[in-house]
Amino acid sequence: MKITDLKCAIIGQNPVVRVVTDEGIDGYGQAENPKSYLKPHVMYYKQWLLDEDPTNVERVMMKIRRMGSFKPWGSAVSAIEMALWDIAGKAAGLPVYKLLGGKVRDKVRVYNGGVRFPMNGSTPEDYAENMAKMKASPEGFTIIKQGISFHSAMPWQVPQFSYDEPRRGAPHANRGLLTEKGLKHIIACVEAMKSVLGDEIGLALDCGPGWMVTDAIRVAKALEPLNLMWMEDMITGDYMPYVLADVYRDVTQATSTPIHTGEQIYLRQNFRELIEGRAVRVIGPDPEDVGGLAELKWVAEYADLHGVMMAPHGIFDGLIGLAGLVQVCATLPQNYIAFEYPIARPDWWYEIVDGLPSPIVKDGLIEVWDRPGLGVTFNEKARQYLSAGDETFFD
């Protein structure tokens, strides 16, 4: 089998990759929906894929892996890797999880990062009300993540929140020392959310990035009695091309509250210092940024050897990405907690993809399916959503 073409289309908001072969088997991968600009970057790799056997996934990836980088530029490589596994599974007549070593679990736990409801403000009451809506969501989530501090509207909605002036524009542009008022406000909002969830549902916090170490330690220690699942991306995170493992370690060693990072990190090598130094208690690589499904599994297994837990990121990964997450997370070791559940954006994505269970999530879990490859396919309705210039994507 040989690769004869590489295609990329923006469907809705997500870049979708299609790898075509000479045996009539094709594979699909997907990048996060905020990255509609990635199409030229994806197509850059076509010259190295043609005539390769796509079922030799690692051999193909060795040609292109070193030419990616931290979020967002590793996304193109990751989407291609996902499409290669889709082909390999279809060619073998097996689900991807079989090719990655087989199932560890029949159902994979997800946490709520994508099912959202508008917030009226940033008061403790607003957070409690919003958490009650997520708790009542029919998916029955057992873990819910909520944004606070620099990963929320707090910097401009809460007067005198930090000593730096609030900034808008680029994603998560705020950074600085929190005022005492800001510190106390964060703690009050988290207490309000836990009062709604009790001990029935775990609470994780998306925190930044942008915290100073002193603030991170103070708040993490203050929240220890609430038994949080984790506090995510306090120091670095979204769209930051570096890790600062030594700084994270200072925070981790000062508190029993689990500290989490990793969604922006590309490749196993860039997790090494976090894992070997036990700089965080939880890591969260995204399969659409880290380098793909096999790369995510390698990181999870190495983390397990060092007592580090695994909770993959995925909020923007779309339905093809969801399928990939289900397949790889079924194979992960027992340091696996849950992956972040992505929803379709826009909603019509649910109408153009076949193969997902209905409902997708039940009691916070997704049952692992056994169809070949990723186990999801586009139907004929998908053609109507192709943009100008992408009309031949499915041909």
Q: Domain limits of the chain?
A: 3-93+378-385, 98-374
> What kind of architecture, by CATH, is found in domain 98-374?
Alpha-Beta Barrel (3.20)
What confidence score (pLDDT) does residue 170 get? 78
Which CATH homologous superfamily contains domain 3-93+378-385?
Answer: Enolase-like, N-terminal domain (3.30.390.10)
C-alpha to C-alpha distance for 64 and 46, rounded to whole angstroms? 10
C-alpha to C-alpha distance for 32 and 3, rounded to whole angstroms? 24
What confidence score (pLDDT) does residue 171 get? 81
Residue listed under structure tokens 């730096």 = 164
List average pLDDT for each run of 10 residues in the chain, which is 395 residues long. 98 95 98 94 97 98 97 97 98 98 98 96 98 98 98 96 88 92 98 97 97 98 98 96 97 98 98 98 98 98 98 98 98 98 96 98 98 98 95 97
C-alpha to C-alpha distance for 298 and 306, rounded to whole angstroms? 13
pLDDT, tens digit, for every residue of 246-271? 999 999 999 999 999 999 999 999 99
pLDDT, tens digit, for every residue of 95-143? 999 999 999 999 999 999 999 999 999 999 999 999 999 999 999 999 9
Do the domains 3-93+378-385 and 98-374 sit in the same CATH topology, yes or no? no
- What's the pTM value of the predicted model, to 2 decimals? 0.97
What confidence score (pLDDT) does residue 261 get? 98
Query: Which structure tokens are listed for 394?
Result: 């499915």
Residue listed under structure tokens 């070593």 = 101
